[in-house]
Amino acid sequence: MLKDSFYSTTDELQLGEQLHNLVVELFPICRSITGNGVRETLAILKRLLPLEIHEVPSGTEVFDWLVPDEWNIRDAYLKNSDGQRVIDFQESNLHVLNYSLPFHATLPLKKLKEHLFTLPEQVDLIPYRTAYYQPNWGLCLSQNQLDALAEDDYEVCIDSSLKPGSLTYAELLIPGELKEEVLISCHICHPSLANDNLSGVAIAAHLAQFLQNQTLRYSYRFVFIPGTIGAITWLARNEATVANIKHGLVLAGLGDPGCLSYKRSRQGETEIDQSAAYVLRQQNDYTLVDFSPYGYDERQYCSPGFNLSVGRLSRTPHGTFPEYHTSADNLDFVQAEQLAKSMKACLDIFDILENNKYYLNAKPKGEPRLSKYDLYSDIGGLQVTAESQMAMLWVLNLADGQHNLLDIAQRSKLPFALLVLSVKTLLNHGLLKEVK
């Protein structure tokens, strides 16, 4: 099984450190839905993976949207009349309104305040704000910083550019035995926000690294894309092959202290919905929520014209924790241990998808005499226990071509991994046949 081979090569502490180190490396980059920050991010990921990089020109029609002009930022600041930088993009890239138009002028504080954005209820934090599709210029700062500004004339400079260029995204297809694909999607459009979005980026990159060296039933497609417009662009450019996607996961917000949360696909009870729910129910605490047309890119993959079986795996849902889209979503907020547990949950889900097959009992009339096959003394190299005996009996009883292995796990309340071992043993003894 995937997770077993993974657990044998790394421990949770080591994995968590590797994931957190990648988040640390990516954190300082100022990303947006287009621009050099995305390219710099993908260049770092390309050191780990053989990514295929795509550039889609500004103005390209993608369904009901147009690929926007490309935005890049070099510097931004607010200087008082003494020439001191009281707001400095170099200290935090959240200080600039993301996608801000270029601007340079000297303004009185009263006029300037029309373009300053704060969080009055969280006075120490800088908000993350954007102006993607409503052109504007502005700076973001904490409420305390705003309150400390004296009446003065301030030089405001936003050294940015917004002009025709391209939208950049990357993908990697890891081929398996089947053409049917598992899609893993994460967004790469946020600046220095560690949980949203870098936790998902780091986990996706390490999952791809691991799966490249495995024997796989499904093919796995990883896409690293800007949120919303990136997913829409990818779907528009891959409409002919989207039918290959059988399962999918959007990864976001996977490093915070909260419990794992899974948002079901639009279809609601697909195989990946059931697999993710099964994995989460093995946790002490978890959250399962139904689909809604709001959130991350699952809403694009689940739009009615595609209706893909794509759910979302997170921890604390977006918008429900105080650090969300603020400067508090930093490297201290993301925990290495939580990143590791999130990645292992992904592997548990993939393990189910890889092994969730239908079988037929080769001797369905009555219960087979298992001692005749030495199956009361050995199962897959493990000493037989009452639980492993029950696993064999449950598999044989429900192996009627109508129940897959996950059905059996849910009904028997036995570990999925134990049922996989039972299947292998019963296949080896000619007591089971796989339904093709």
Domain containing 376 — which CATH number? Answer: 1.10.10.10
* Residue among 224, 183, 208 at smallest CA distance from 48: 208
* Residue among 163, 100, 169, 90 at smallest CA distance from 129: 100
How much is the mean pLDDT over the chain? 95
Mean pLDDT of 30-50: 98
Do residues 288 and 349 both lie within one domain? yes
Do residues 237 and 331 both lie within one domain? yes
The annotation status of 206 as a binding-site residue, yes or no, is: no
Mean pLDDT of 91-119: 98
- Residues 298 and 263 sit within 8 Å (Cβ to Cβ): yes
Do residues 180 and 271 both lie within one domain? yes
Residue 268's pLDDT is 95
pLDDT, tens digit, 9 for 90 and up, residues 292-311: 999 999 999 999 999 999 99
Domain containing 257 — which CATH number? Answer: 3.40.630.10
Residue 389's pLDDT is 87
Distance CA 49, CA 206 (A): 9
Decide if pLDDT at 346 tops 70: yes
Decide if pLDDT at 26 tops 80: yes
Residue 282 makes CB contacts below 8 A (sequence gap 6+) with 348
pLDDT, tens digit, 9 for 90 and up, residues 374-431: 776 545 454 557 888 899 999 999 999 999 999 999 999 999 999 999 999 999 999 9
Domain-terminating residue out of 132, 163, 194: 163
| Domain coverage including residue 415 | 358-434
Q: How many domains does the chain have?
A: 3
Q: Which residue has the higher pLDDT, 3 or 105?
A: 105
Domain containing 151 — which CATH number? Answer: 3.50.30.90
pLDDT above 90 as % of the chain: 90
Residue 84's Cβ-count burial label (10 Å; 0-12, 13-18, 19+) is: exposed
Decide if pLDDT at 141 tops 80: yes
What single-letter DSSP state applies at residue 410? H
Decide if pLDDT at 11 tops 90: no
Residue 99's pLDDT is 98
Domain-terminating residue out of 143, 163, 183: 163
Q: Which residue has the higher pLDDT, 167 or 367?
A: 167
Decide if pLDDT at 351 tops 80: yes
Distance CA 16, CA 336 (A): 4
Domain-terminating residue out of 317, 340, 355: 355
Residue 6's pLDDT is 57
C-alpha distance from residue 391 to each of 71, 318, 372, 387 (Å): 57, 39, 17, 6
Residue 248's pLDDT is 98
Residue 300's pLDDT is 98
The annotation status of 190 as a binding-site residue, yes or no, is: yes
Mean pLDDT of 362-366: 93
C-alpha distance from residue 262 to each of 255, 270, 327 (Å): 14, 13, 25
Do residues 197 and 290 both lie within one domain? yes
Residue 9's pLDDT is 58
Do residues 172 and 291 both lie within one domain? yes
**pLDDT band (50, 70, 90) for residue 190:** very high
